[in-house]
Amino acid sequence: MTNIENQQMAMMPEGSKRILGRDAQRLNILIGYAVANTIKTTLGPKGMDKMLVSDLGDIVITNDGATILEEMNVEHPAAKIMVEIAKTQDKEVGDGTTTSVVIAGYLLKNAGDLLDQNIHASTIIKGYNLAAKKTDELLKDLSYKISINDKEKLIKIASISMDSKSIGLGESKRYLAELVVDAITAVAEEKNDHYIIDTDLIKIEKKEGGAIKDTRYIKGVVIDKEIVHTGMPKNIKDAKIALLECPLEIEKTETDAKIQITSPDQMKAFLDQEEKMLRNMVNKIKESGANTVFCQKGIDELAQHFLAKAGIAAVRRVKKSDLEKLSRATNGRIISTLDDLSEKDLGKAGKVYEEKVAGESMVFIEGCESAKAVTLFLRAGTEHVVNEVERAVVDAMGAVASAIEDGSYVTGGGSIEIELAQKLREYAIKIGGREQLAIQAFADSLEIIPKTLAESTGMDAIDTLVTLRTNHTKGNVSDGISVYDAKIDDMEKLGVIEPTRVKKQAVSSATEAATMMLRIDDIIASKGKSTGGGAGAGGMQGMGGM
């Protein structure tokens, strides 16, 4: 160690660890590649599942990239950066998490090969950034147009997104895809010839028991609560709904108050007054014309009795988010004080009814005209399956929303990656210099997607890649891997299509993460600190807990 390095180490706490220069780069590359390899096998419809077991014995079975990385116990900082890629992809698009992480891992691996050839990290970074920018331009040229009215194509996009999940097989895939498209188109809002979709307006409720085919799309909201009183109606047609933020009970004051009662008459007067106040509250609801109440706070037992006598159904302790969805679905206003309640504030629904599902009562608000908040009520045989159905539906929602918002899609099955790689190699020759080697490495990294799809199908990966390259050179730009038939076919004809944004975001996130890690030439970790320093130091040796 040189004199300067000794001085640098002397300023840090005793027991500090440090990895310098090429060793730091090699370690980051190794770990990024290891994470990519861990989830690579989950890619595509024939991808394998992972079983994740926590310290407490909780089990998650999935092949959703974001879920696997989130649940995995990774300690090394480089591994955490890979996890961030998946989170960003999941947040921005909702689909393509595995793709983004695998591309990032192979960008790092190929950069490592270039570093071994004494090509400087700055040159590689410049080449990668040029390639990413070019990829963005190419994706615009290679995209096809789609609109909110192309229902069949949107269903195909949803189906392809769900294909990689273990539940994506069989008849249920098409059925779920149709429900997702119905839900997304219901909440889509048009602004200046452009659609904006807030997927938070689609409530997802799930209950195990029953089959996947029992999943329902409800033009309204499902509340996982029961109607509070047995005497209340359990099935209300033409519901007029009051949405209350205020409690239907006598609230205790926060200031210290002392009530002195010295005789039974005073006690009776006190109780009568309390009853009168509650009766007035119920009368205000009754006068507004409401026959159903959803309350964010509590409802007093006496108020429940008065409501039941008036033939009004009520649900209490409704979550604020559910109350807001009810407002969007029924066009009702959320009221903070009963004095403000009037007929024009009430929401409307075709029917409100209570139903027992898997032994638990739930309240369904259905038949809302022009509902801007809807519900997907998911069912499946076991808890593990219903959780995987939820993950598949969330991915599909993200994919369909992206396709409608951007109005474009590309062909799947690895066809777009092969075409991009071909075009990037041509571009690399024009650029020249050492950067062209980085651009070629970038093109090779994209080809890992069709290569992995071929491997998961049992096809020969090398032969498949060579044939695909030849076909694309001849102009068959939508040729990709038909995973179920284990052959090369036209993806556009088969309807294997994906939103452009999924690919765009995957390439963008992967490039940013890879270039960031390539810039690192020094990793310093101290095991002397309890606030995460120890984990960092332990993680230096590899990925703890993988």
Is residue 85 a contact partner of residue 93, using CB atoms and an 8 Å limit? Answer: no
Closest of 481, 497, 512 to residue 157, by C-alpha: 497
Domain architecture of the chain: domains with CATH: 19-145+410-539 (1.10.560.10), 147-214+377-406 (3.30.260.10), 221-370 (3.50.7.10)
Q: Are 377 and 216 in contact (CB under 8 A)?
A: yes
CA 66 to chain centre: 8
What pLDDT does 15 receive? 57
Q: What pLDDT was estimated at residue 256?
A: 61
Q: Could you tell me which residues are beta bridge partners of residue 240? A: 348
Using one digit for the tens of pLDDT, what is the confidence trace for 340-382? 888 888 989 989 999 888 788 889 998 887 788 899 999 888 8
Q: Would you please indicate which residues are annotated as catalytic (active-site) residues? A: 64, 97-98, 395
Listed in order, strand segments (DSSP E) in 197-302 are: 202-208, 216-218, 221-223, 235-244, 292-295
pTM of the complete model beyond 0.95: no
Sheet strand arrangement including 216-218 = 202-208, 374-380, 216-218
Q: What pLDDT, on a 0 to 100 scale, did the predictor assign at position 294?
A: 93
Nearest one of 346, 314, 292 to 247, comparing CA atoms: 314
At 419-440, the pLDDT tens digits run: 999 999 999 999 888 899 999 9
**pLDDT at position 252, please?**
61
Within a 10 A sphere around the Cβ of 495, how many other Cβ atoms?
Answer: 15
Contacts of 39 (CB under 8 A, 6+ apart): 50, 65, 68, 69, 98, 101, 102
Whole-number Å distance between alpha carbons of 8 and 126: 30
What pLDDT, on the 0 to 100 scale, is given for residue 419?
93
Which residues, given as ranges, of the chain have pLDDT below 50?
A: 1, 4-9, 168, 528-546
Q: Quick one: 485 exposed, middle or buried, by C-beta within 10 A (0-12, 13-18, 19+)?
A: exposed
Those residues whose C-beta lies under 8 Å from the C-beta of residue 121, and which sit 6 or more positions away, are: 25, 111, 115, 518, 519, 521
- Specify the residue for token string 């993680």: 539
Amino acid at 462: I
Torsion of CA 115, 116, 118, 120, to 10 degrees: 10
Instruction: Count H helices and E strands in the chain, helices first.
Output: 19, 21
What dihedral do alpha carbons 228, 231, 237, 242 form, nearest 10°?
Answer: -40
